Amino acid sequence: MRGERASGLALALGALVALGSVGLARAQQPSAEDLARETAKLELRLEAAKEDGAYLVLNPASDALVVMLQNVALREIAVLDADVGAPRTLFMARKGPRDLAGRIWRAGSVDPPLVVQRRELIVEKIDPDPTGQEEIVPPTPQEAYPAPERFRVRFEGGLEMLVESYRGPEGERGSAKLGSTGWFRERWETLWPGKASPLRLRLLLDAKDAAELWRSLPQEGVRLLVEP
Amino acid sequence: MTESLSTRQGAPAPGDGVASAPSPPRPRPAAPPRRPLPRALWWTGAFVVGAFLAIGVLWAGGGYSRVPLDRAISSAPMAEIPLAKNGTPDLRALRNEVRRLERELRAFQPRGTYVVIDRMNNRLWLRQGDDVVLDAPVSTGSGTVLLEQGSGRKWIFDTPAGVHRVRHKVEDPVWRKPDWAFLEEGQPLPKNAGDRLEYGMLGEYALYLGDGYLIHGTLYERLIGRSVTHGCVRVGRDDLRKVYASSPVGTKVYIF
């Protein structure tokens, strides 16, 4: 009698647990909106991966700017600070494009651009005694292409990505604060109509990372995907 | 005739020995009436101050608004939601679509180790998924343009960007010198194919990427980190050993 009761109790408990787990699983299932968002995100990633050339992916969740090629991470750069802004007139931000994360920004041109130095050798005749030639030790990339403190990538559609270098103590996070020169420079830019981009994404990177990024970016046709 | 002016005005002359009474305070000459500022000057001043104020307000109210990135992306884009026959969102179709896209994206991912080369910064990374196994300085294409007058042949010594694969691997590789190597050295092109072979120039190992491009070693280790090659990727001896050991034939090589 007692054994029957115990088994009945165990059965009831088991049923309860099963029902509970089914309910929990249902509750944890993503909604149609979540799935639609995930679909849109994956579609954008796939679109970027299918096109030729390296592209940038900015992931706000992981504070990283990733150089990618065909959906493969080539290089991750830590973003020390990032903000988004629009030019202001009389303390009011002008209206710009809002869909920062819903598209691939294309045709970005780098300012100032890196101009590749090419040495041209013209072979006119055979030099019978080439031993007299001096060995030329070319400069390192850092010497040949010193990177600017800040650079911009202007994309089609009105987005400007401003990359600023942070030269602080190693391991210390950058500060979002502008220096006085930065404050004046920003105001000077936005004072003139047409000079400022309608939407600005400002990234603060470690100085070494920023310099290497500037050198390795394709000078025309940069693509950027901001992950939602 | 010689009477001084002070004597004439009643002031004691020096040395006359007479104590003089204090002179009554002289009446101050009346101040000339203040002339009002000319109206034009007043307006000019007001205009200048106003202009400065206006520029100041414009200036201070300019610049950019600032919103932290994570707060700026409040709404994520959404794909169209398909509907089932009963008019409710078709969750199964959405899930299938997500799986299909994930599969397609996974197909791009290399299996195992892959090599990444940053040709503008002369760096090579050996990666395994998210992990960086090796970070090494290398030498890449110099960007030099070699032009042979007469024939019009032209070579541009760039390391080609894009996705490549290790086609095959060789220990103690022998360099078969192409025409440009002779032209550059000012030597005539050899008639015998055997005269093109050079031993030891490519270091201990070479990984062939196709179209004459290789990852290989070098005799000139001091030039590692500089853009000096004809398009190949030169790696230092110890790093090359690691790259060679970890990259089987078929390994993907991403150059950007």
Taking the CA of residue A14 and the nearest CA in chain B, the distance in Å comes to 29
Q: Which residues have CB under 8 Å from B57's CB, separation 6+?
A: A90
Write out chain B's pLDDT in tens, 256 residues: 444 444 444 444 444 444 555 666 677 777 777 777 788 888 999 999 999 988 887 777 778 888 888 877 766 667 788 887 888 888 889 999 999 999 999 999 998 999 999 999 999 999 998 899 999 999 999 999 999 888 889 999 999 999 999 999 999 999 999 999 999 888 889 999 899 999 999 999 999 999 999 999 999 999 999 999 999 999 999 999 999 999 999 999 999 9
Residues of chain B with C-beta less than 8 angstroms from the C-beta of A69: 162-163, 254, 256
Q: What is the pLDDT, as a whole number, of residue A126?
A: 54
The pTM of this model reads 0.79
The reply to whether B145 touches chain A by the CB within 8 Å rule is yes
**Selection from B122, B190, B137, B162 nearest residue B254 by Cα:** B162
Mean pLDDT of chain A: 82
CB contact under 8 A, B147 and A121: yes
pLDDT above 60: residue A175: no
Nearest CA in chain B to A102: B77
ipTM attached to this prediction: 0.80
Q: Residues B135, B150: contact at Cβ < 8 Å? A: no
Q: What is the pLDDT, as a whole number, of residue B6?
A: 43
Task: Give B193-197 contacts, CB < 8 A, sequence gap 24+.
Answer: none
CB contact under 8 A, A70 and B148: no
Q: What is the pLDDT, as a whole number, of residue A130?
A: 53
Residues of chain B with C-beta less than 8 angstroms from the C-beta of A121: 144-147, 184
Q: How far apart are CA B209 and CA A202, in angstroms?
A: 38
Nearest residue, CB atoms, A86 vs list B65, B122, B256: B65
pLDDT tens for A186-204 read 788 777 777 778 889 999 9
pLDDT tens for A114-158 read 998 898 888 876 555 555 556 678 899 999 999 999 999 999 988
